[in-house]
Structure 1
Amino acid sequence: MDKIIAIDIGGTNLRIGTVYKNLKVENFYKTSSYFLREEGSHVELVKLIKNYIEEQKLTDITAISIGIPSMVSKDRKFVFRAPNLKGLVNINLADYLQGELNLKVALDRDVNYLLIHDIDKYGLDEKKEKTILGFYIGTGLGNPVYINGKIYRGKNGVAGELAHTPIRGLEEVCPCGNVGCVEIVASGKALENIREEHFKDTPFEEIFTRHSNTDEIKEFITLLSYPLATEITVLDPDLIVLSSGVISMKDFPRQMLIEEIKKRTKHPYPAENLEYIFTENSHENGVIGGAISLFNGF
C-alpha cells in the first residue's frame, strides 16, 4: 500500500487528497460538507469519492481513510452520531463504503487524525510515553486524548467527547440531543452567535482583532477555559495541543486563554508546569493525519 485516499470531514468543510507513504499529498481539494447535513446523504458521499477516483485516474488505490466529526465505534466502523451532519447518523459507514467502493475503509473521529498529524509533524512523543491532550476549537470543540503512543478510545470508542459534558444551569438543547452541553457556549458556533448578537457589523474573521477587550469575548474565553481546565486537572498531561479554526484566527487571545486555564486548574500541579503548543492550522492536516493512522496502524 504505497498511497491512499484520505478524507477529512468537518462540520463546515470536506477535504480530500491522495497521500503517499512519505506523506506527500496530491490532488488535494476542499469543498463544503453541508450536503452531509441531509438525511441519507451518505449516498452522495459515495458519489463524491467515485468522482474523485475517476477524475484523478486513481487505478491503484486499495484503501481510504475518513475522519468524521462524530462518535465512532471502537472497531472504527459505526458512526453513532454526527450532531452537525445528519447524513452520518447511526450507520455502519465503513462496511457500507467498503461495499460500494471495493476499498478498505478506516474511520475515526476527525480530531484524532488532527492530533496524530501534529504529534508526527512536531515530534511530540518520539518515545511514545507521554499523555497529550488536544483541544481543537473549530465549528465544535474537538478533544482527542493520546496516552503512551495511542489514541485513547475508552470502552465503546467514544472517549474524548468533552464537548458534550454538561454545564449546570445551561438549559439549551445541543444538536447531539442532550441538554446543556459545553459546546453550546465554547465553540466556533458559539462565537458566531456572539457575533450575530453583539457585533453584527464585524466580519467573523476580525472579531478578535476588534473586540478582544469586550466583556462578551472575555466571557467566551472564560467559558472555553472551564472544560479544558477540568480535563487537564483530571489527566495531568505532559503536553496540551491547541489548534483549529478559532484558535488560529487573527489576534486570538492565546495568553488570556492560558491564564484562564491556569486559574481554574488544580494548584500547585498540574497548574504550575503546564506545557502548551499552538500548532499550525492547515487544510491538509486531517488528511495527512488520516494517512499516518492507516499506514502506521494507530
Structure 2
Amino acid sequence: MSFNTNRTMKSAIGVDIGGTNFRIGWVREDGTVLCLDKKPSKALCEGGKAADLLAEEIRTFMEANGVRDAQAIGIGFPAPVAADGRTVFPCPNLKNPDEGFGGVDVVSRLESLGLPIAIAKDTDMLLQAEIMERQMGAQDIVTAFYFGTGVGNSVYYRGNLLRGAHGSGCDAGHIPVLGGTRTCGCGKKGCIECYASGAYLASLWEERFADCALADLFRVHKGARELAEFIEACAIPVAAEITIFDPTLVILGGGILGMDHFPYEKLTGKIYEHVKKPYPAENMVIERAAAVNAGVRGAAWYALSHVF
C-alpha cells in the first residue's frame, strides 16, 4: 500500500450509514480523519425522502467543516448496491415512509453536491478499510462478518470485493435456516439474521432478560441457554462461508462483539467446531476488526480508488 507523499494529499468525504447510526467524515488518502460527525440514522427516515435528506446532511457537514477540496464522496449503505453502482437495494433496517433508499438511483440524486459519487454496501466499505490497514495482497482471500443491527458480510477475493452478477452477492445474513419460522426484515422467512442479529438479541432481551440493561446482558446472564444458542447462530454463517472460500483471514466485527463480556472465545470455538477438518479449520485465522473509523475511512478510500 502506498500513499501520496506530496504536500497536497487527495481527500474524500466518507459516509457510513448503519441501521442505528450514520457517520460522515472528511478523510485524507493516508487514512487520516480530518473531522467526523455522527447522528442517529432516523434523521434519514423522517421529514423527507431519504436521498434528499442524505444530500442535505452531507452538504451541511461540508459547510460546517470548511470542506473545499475533497475530490469525491463515498457512501456505504446497509443494503447491497445494484451492479450499475448507482441503485440501492431495499434497506430492511432503514425505512422511510416518504421514500427510502431502496430502488433509488442515489448517485443521480446526489449529483447536486458537485463531486463524483461512489456507493457500495456498508460492509464493503468496512472491509475496504481492513484491507488497506492490513496491506492485504492481491492473492489474499478475506471474509468479514459484522454483527450489528443485522448481519453484515463481505468477501475480498484476490484483489476484488465480490458482489455477484446483480450486486447482491455475499449477503450471508439472508442464508435460510432449516426450519426457521421468523420473518426477516427482507420479507423472507427463516433468514439466519432472524436468529443472529442485534435486532433479534434486543427482542430476546425484552422477552427474557429485561431485569438488566441490554448492554449488561452477557455479563449478568452468562451461561444462559438462549444466549448460547444466539452465539451458535452467529457462528453458522461464518463457518459456512469459511467452508466455501477457505480464506486467508476471517474478520469479525460489529457492535454486538463490542458488548461488555461478549463471549468472543465461545464464538470462535463454535466457528471452529462447524468448519470442515482438517482444512480449512487447521490453518484458519480469525481476527477482530481493527480499523478505527473503518466505515468512513473505507468509504473515502473506495471513492478515491474509483475516481483515480
Q: TM-score range by the shorter chain?
A: over 0.9
Alignment partners' CA distance in 2, 1:59 and 1:132: 35
- Find the counterpart in structure 2 of residue 289 from structure 1: 298
Q: Which runs of 5+ in 2 are unaligned?
A: 1-8
Q: In the TM superposition, what is the alpha-carbon distance from 1:61 to its structure 2 partner?
A: 3.0
* Residue 67 of structure 1, aligned match among 69, 76, 79: 76
Alignment partners' CA distance in 1, 2:16 and 2:299: 8
Aligned pair 1:272/2:282, yes or no?
yes
Q: In the TM superposition, what is the alpha-carbon distance from 1:249 to its structure 2 partner?
A: 1.8
Identity among equivalent pairs (%): 36
Taking structure 1 as the reference length, the TM-score comes to 0.93
Alignment partners' CA distance in 2, 1:144 and 1:167: 20
Alignment partners' CA distance in 2, 1:255 and 1:44: 41
Alignment partners' CA distance in 2, 1:189 and 1:292: 30
- Find the counterpart in structure 1 of residue 139 from structure 2: 129
Q: In the TM superposition, what is the alpha-carbon distance from 1:281 to its structure 2 partner?
A: 6.7
Q: Give the RMSD, CA atoms, in angstroms.
A: 1.7
Aligned pair 1:236/2:246, yes or no?
yes
In 1, are the aligned partners of 2:143 and 2:251 still within 8 Å (CA)? Answer: yes
3-state SS, counterpart of residue 73 of structure 2: strand
In 2, are the aligned partners of 1:111 and 1:142 still within 8 Å (CA)? Answer: yes
Deviations 1:165-199 (A, max 9, x none): 11122222211111111101111111111111111
* Residue 114 of structure 2, aligned match among 102, 108, 111: 102
* Moved segments of 4+, more than 6 Å: none
Aligned pair 1:18/2:26, yes or no?
yes
Q: What is the one-letter code of the residue matched to 1:13? A: N
* Residue 154 of structure 2, aligned match among 120, 144, 150: 144
3-state SS, counterpart of residue 108 of structure 2: helix
* Residue 113 of structure 1, aligned match among 117, 125, 142: 125
Q: What is the one-letter code of the residue matched to 1:119? A: I
3-state SS, counterpart of residue 26 of structure 1: strand
Alignment partners' CA distance in 1, 2:197 and 2:50: 25
* Residue 49 of structure 1, aligned match among 58, 63, 72: 58
Structure 1 residues 196 and 37: alpha-carbon distance in aligned structure 2, compared to 1, 3 A threshold: same
Q: In the TM superposition, what is the alpha-carbon distance from 1:71 to its structure 2 partner?
A: 1.3
Q: Which runs of 5+ in 1 are unaligned?
A: none
* Residue 29 of structure 1, aligned match among 2, 27, 37: 37
Larger relative contact order (C-alpha < 8 A, sep ≥ 6)? 2
Alignment partners' CA distance in 2, 1:292 and 1:52: 19
3-state SS, counterpart of residue 91 of structure 1: coil
Q: In the TM superposition, what is the alpha-carbon distance from 1:106 to its structure 2 partner?
A: 0.5
In 1, are the aligned partners of 2:26 and 2:33 still within 8 Å (CA)? Answer: yes
Q: In the TM superposition, what is the alpha-carbon distance from 1:273 to its structure 2 partner?
A: 2.1
Alignment partners' CA distance in 1, 2:291 and 2:220: 22
Q: What is the one-letter code of the residue matched to 1:94? A: V
Q: In the TM superposition, what is the alpha-carbon distance from 1:45 to its structure 2 partner?
A: 1.3
* Residue 6 of structure 1, aligned match among 9, 14, 36: 14
Q: What is the one-letter code of the residue matched to 1:288? A: R
Alignment partners' CA distance in 2, 1:36 and 1:176: 19
In 2, are the aligned partners of 1:184 and 1:190 still within 8 Å (CA)? Answer: yes
Q: What is the one-letter code of the residue matched to 1:112? A: D
Deviations 1:83-107 (A, max 9, x none): 1112211101012111x22221100
3-state SS, counterpart of residue 8 of structure 1: strand
Aligned length: 294
Q: What is the one-letter code of the residue matched to 1:28? A: L
In 1, are the aligned partners of 2:18 and 2:122 still within 8 Å (CA)? Answer: yes
3-state SS, counterpart of residue 256 of structure 2: coil
3-state SS, counterpart of residue 272 of structure 1: coil
In 2, are the aligned partners of 1:77 and 1:93 still within 8 Å (CA)? Answer: yes
Q: In the TM superposition, what is the alpha-carbon distance from 1:248 to its structure 2 partner?
A: 1.9
In 2, are the aligned partners of 1:245 and 1:281 still within 8 Å (CA)? Answer: no
Aligned pair 1:92/2:105, yes or no?
yes
Aligned pair 1:255/2:268, yes or no?
no
In 1, are the aligned partners of 2:129 and 2:291 still within 8 Å (CA)? Answer: no
